[in-house]
Amino acid sequence: MKLAGQVALVTGGSRGIGRATALAFAAEGANIAFCHLDDGSRAEATAAEIAGLGRRVLHRSLDVADPGASREFAAEAGGFGPIDILFNNAGMNIRKPFEDYTEAEFDRVLSVHLKGMFFMAQAVYPAMVSRKRGCIINIASQLGFKGAAGSVPYSAAKAGIIGFTRALAQEAAPHGVRVNAIAPGPIDTDLVRQNTKEWQNAFKARLPARRFGRPEEIAATALLLAGPDGGFYVGACLSPNGGDVMH
């Protein structure tokens, strides 16, 4: 198994990409600690699947925009052993015209994404450095490259995640800690399903792949970066996006 005996911390792990990745890591031998925000029933179901694979699992409801809560959760997850992998995935969006955003809405979107990722990474990073090993994977978005009307704060936050990843990767790599990002395109998750059917069909029609991605496809990318085959990825941003952005 590629991750045998390792400990992975997954944010936003009760559903979508986070859930698929937690299960993929567990299937490869990792014990899993994941957090969610008030999603108890789905969290319990995900935890049961992980336990069914023979892995240790814990989950907690917390707001990743709260640095204190992130530190407490990382410390609790450390009860399984040193954290080897951080999968920074928690996210949200508020869609509306640019001129209608309030300061509170802007702060919320940026805080969940950038502040949440920054301080969760900071909570696990010193121990990784002391062990001279570790892997941090941050979920960005193809909108961090191309932007999107009606999602200006979200696009800005995702672009910021790419910059954060590249900067931290340069600082971390000499200490044996690899930091990379994944910038998915439209994936069949709750975030995409919030849009109308008309919007979804129109988006699919202009995608070269003519479909949305599956969470399991992003999980496979995460497994590549976390496992032994991803050892030469440093500061990379892999973008499985169905051809929405080609670079």
Over the stretch 85-142, which tens digit does the pLDDT of each residue have?
999 999 999 999 999 999 999 999 999 999 999 999 999 999 999 999 999 999 999 9
| Residues sharing a CB contact under 8 Å with residue 17, sequence separation 6 or more, in sequence order | 89, 139, 184, 187, 189, 215, 218, 219
Over the stretch 9-31, which tens digit does the pLDDT of each residue have?
999 999 999 999 999 999 999 99
Q: State mean pLDDT over 52-59.
A: 98
**Active-site residue set:** 154
Cα–Cα distance measured from residue 69 to residue 74, given in angstroms and rounded to the nearest whole number = 9
Q: pLDDT band for position 193 (50/70/90)?
A: confident
Cα–Cα distance measured from residue 60 to residue 3, given in angstroms and rounded to the nearest whole number = 23
Average pLDDT, the chain: 96
Nearest in space to 151 (alpha carbons), one of 200, 204, 192: 192
Say whether pTM exceeds 0.85: yes
Sign of CA dihedral 152, 136, 49, 35: negative
Q: Where are the domains of the chain?
A: 7-232
Superfamily (CATH) of domain 7-232: NAD(P)-binding Rossmann-like Domain (3.40.50.720)
